Structure 1
């Protein structure tokens, strides 16, 4: 792969990063707070590609030593010297890079042309629930029902035993995953940094649960805290429950992860 090809790969990668960072696509890979770094990385790659092309275009002029104002005859003596040196020292054979290097372009094209879905029930079923311990339990804002993050509800239900949730109706949004025993979970993947470290937070559903639930379908559920709790069979992690009073299907949000 020559310099021009390397510049093309750099340019494609940079454009792909800028495309993802300027749309909602990047939210399927990293946290929202990393958008500025993603855009900066894309801009650096594009600049590096353009600099490589500029360097290569100037290369022949430097090798011949001919400047913009020079005439072809000005360097005749140098040309003869180079010719004589060429007879004394034969030119080495050019080095051909393996064509397999072009496979580096495939992930870039996949990022632009085929946007993969966010992690869903398949990953959640094979990964144990993870309920991060909150630093504290500040008073909840007014409102009924109160819209909460899934991880916030799970943290209060597990580590505060629902005391701060008592008497409150809450609304949660997540996708459906089904436990090995058939228990329906409202699930949300939580990120520390990117999708590679995503862990599911699962909340069991009881009460007025829709009779037919399809894995990966997104639901908005409203209900109240219940002390019922189970253990995730994957890692024995705690799974709190929500007593559902109302549920309705919704579209997948632009930001599918929490964190």
Structure 2
């Protein structure tokens, strides 16, 4: 791969990164707060590609090349063309966000802790909260800060170890590479007839029922479902 080909690869890669970072596509791979860094990275790649092309295509470039190589051709490793794979992936076959398959392969992330100090839930009936917040209150506070309040959560459907549907949401520390699931068991009006990765909104109340995640033997809290409905996939799929 000569320098001109390398510049083209950089140009395409920078364009792919910039395209992803300026659309919702980047939310499949990184946290929303990293968008400015992605934009900067894309611009730097484009600038590097432009400078390389300018250097190679300037009028005296042919003379410099003759002086540098003394008439002998050098063949760079062909493995360099593998850099095109992420470009093709981003431009043509963008992988989806982490979902039920990833949730089934990893254990729920909630760590154990001995003390808790959760503020009261905000006003509203039902009160909207996250899967992570409900799971934390249900396990570490044993539902005291929830009481008899109705809560409303949004997540995707996954198949639990007993074959019954569970509600899950992936959380990120930085990017999809460190994504881990938070899982909730469902009792009461359990959703039926839904495929894995279907996004739903569930309304229910706290229950003290606890299950176990077979992947890492961690506790999995339950939600007593009163009602549910399918919803469109959210723009921000990670918590």
Partner of 1:189: 170
Give SS of 1:156's match.
helix
State which of 232, 235, 244 in structure 1 corresponds to 2:216. 235
**SS where residue 203 of structure 2 aligns?**
strand
1:166-177 aligned at under 5 Å gives the runs 166-177=147-158
Q: Which residue of 2 aligns with 1:148?
A: 129
Q: Is the 8 A contact 1:188 1:201 kept in 2?
A: yes
How far does residue 92 in structure 1 lie from its aligned partner after superposition? 4.3
Decide whether the 8 Å contact of 2:165 with 2:191 is kept in 1.
Answer: no
Work out whether 1:47 is the aligned partner of 2:47. Answer: yes
Distance in 1 between residues matched to 2:59 and 2:128, nearest whole Å: 61
**Alpha-carbon contact 2:120-2:146 (below 8 Å) kept:** no
TM-align CA RMSD: 2.1
Deviations 1:95-122 (A, max 9, x none): 0224342232122121111121111111
Distance 1:60 1:116 in 2: 43
- How far is the alpha carbon of 1:136 from its aligned partner? 4.2
What is the CA–CA distance in structure 1 between the aligned matches of 2:26 and 2:11, rounded to whole Å?
18
CA contact (8 A) 2:157 2:197 kept: yes
2:237, 2:48 → 1: CA distance? 33
Contact 1:177 1:216 in 2 (8 A): yes
Among 100, 110, 113, which residue is 2:92 paired with? 113
Residues 186 and 225 in structure 2, CA contact (< 8 A), matched pair in contact too: yes
Q: How does 1:215-254 map to 2 (within 5 A)?
A: 215-254=196-235
Equivalent pair of 1:132/1:155 in contact (CA under 8 Å): no
> How far did residue 201 of structure 1 move?
0.3
Alignment partner for residue 102 of structure 1, among 76, 81, 84?
81
Gaps in structure 2 of 5+ consecutive residues? none
SS of the residue corresponding to residue 202 of structure 2 reads strand
Aligned residues: 235
Distance change >3 Å, CA 50–CA 132, structure 1 → 2 = farther
CA contact (8 A) 1:133 1:155 kept: no
TM-score (norm 2): 0.92
